[in-house]
Amino acid sequence: MSGILHHSRPGTDPESTRWHGKRYVALGSSFASGPAIAPREPGAPRLAGRSRNNYAHLVTDAARLQLTDVTSSGATCEHILHEQQYGQPPQIRAVDADTDLVTLTIGGNDVGLTQYRVAHRLPLPLRLIPPIARLGDETAVNHRLHTIEQSLTEVLNTISRRAPRARVLVVNYLSLLGPVSEEDRPVDRNYHQFAESLAAHTASAAARAGAELIDARTPSLDHPPGSAGAWTSGGYIPLPGRQNPGAPFHPTAAGMAGVADLILDRLATLPPIEPQTAAES
């Protein structure tokens, strides 16, 4: 990582220490939690797939933050705001008035983005099974994309109400493909279209809510599965005892480090919002 927040000798540059000790809450789905990236966070539900090397932990280590990580595989906007998951309360409960920084990666499961990609990589007989066929239904994905911006905006507005002085960074989804190519199959073109639409709705919701956008999708296009230092994994069968860079069709350790760098770059230019004193108020 670039380590932008600690380039300078500790204590000599206010820019390098201003985030030290600040309270940070990480919210989101598997593209934030980091399933199958070793080591797993002790005490986290196994199904949450929460890695000790996801981007939230890497940022915390570099910037010396106080982290509460409630990210969880399979999470939707409803799991952020209202629903329990794997015995955990809604993620939003980790956010309060003392929170200084929030990161959010959500929406992919709401629209079925990765599920669409996975469904179309399965053998044809499996793709005919009704539940899997529904995951691969382009019309259904498009329909869900029409409502995702409203859901994202509701999440961001709720974060702002609970933590009015927190910096909120919305991290969009890493791509499971490289740049658009003339050799793309129809399913690849559809995935690109869906991913771009989700990214656009995410950016719009962030702007409407006054949050900061961290565009991880664009640089991830240059690090597709199969490339050196790939930021995401392609499809493979996880074998017991085998060390994998990340879950199939999910971020790798390199991808998490890349996202952490993007966040650290932004924090280097973005000071915390300090609480007002009685005289100031």
pLDDT of residue 135: 79
pLDDT of residue 4: 42
Q: What percentage of the chain exceeds 70 in pLDDT? A: 90
pLDDT of residue 48: 97
Residue 126 pLDDT > 80, yes or no?
A: no
Residue 132 pLDDT > 90, yes or no?
A: no
pLDDT (mean) for 105-117:
95
Tens digits of residue pLDDT in 66-96: 999 999 999 999 999 999 999 999 999 999 9
Confidence class for position 16, pLDDT limits 50, 70, 90: low
Question: What is the C-alpha separation between 205 and 111, in angstroms, rounded?
Answer: 15
- CB-based contact 24:100 (threshold 8 Å): yes
Centre a 10 Å sphere on the Cβ of residue 243 and count the other Cβ atoms it contains: 6
pLDDT of residue 14: 46
Question: What is the C-alpha separation between 65 and 15, in angstroms, rounded?
Answer: 14
For the chain, the first-to-last Cα distance in angstroms comes to: 39
pLDDT of residue 163: 98
pLDDT of residue 224: 95
Residue 2 pLDDT > 50, yes or no?
A: no
pLDDT (mean) for 139-163:
97
**Total residue length of the chain:** 281
Confidence class for position 274, pLDDT limits 50, 70, 90: confident
pLDDT of residue 130: 84
pLDDT (mean) for 94-115:
97
Question: What is the C-alpha separation between 236 and 118, in angstroms, rounded?
Answer: 11
Mean residue pLDDT of the chain comes to 90
pLDDT of residue 239: 63
103: Cα separation from own chain's centroid: 8
Residue 12 pLDDT > 60, yes or no?
A: no
pLDDT (mean) for 130-141:
87
Q: Which residue has the higher pLDDT, 230 or 134?
A: 230
pLDDT (mean) for 36-43:
94
pLDDT of residue 13: 46
Tens digits of residue pLDDT in 162-197: 999 999 999 999 999 999 998 889 999 999 999 999
Q: What percentage of the chain exceeds 90 in pLDDT? A: 77
User: Any idea which of 15-29, 136-150, 264-278 has the lowest mean pLDDT?
Assistant: 264-278
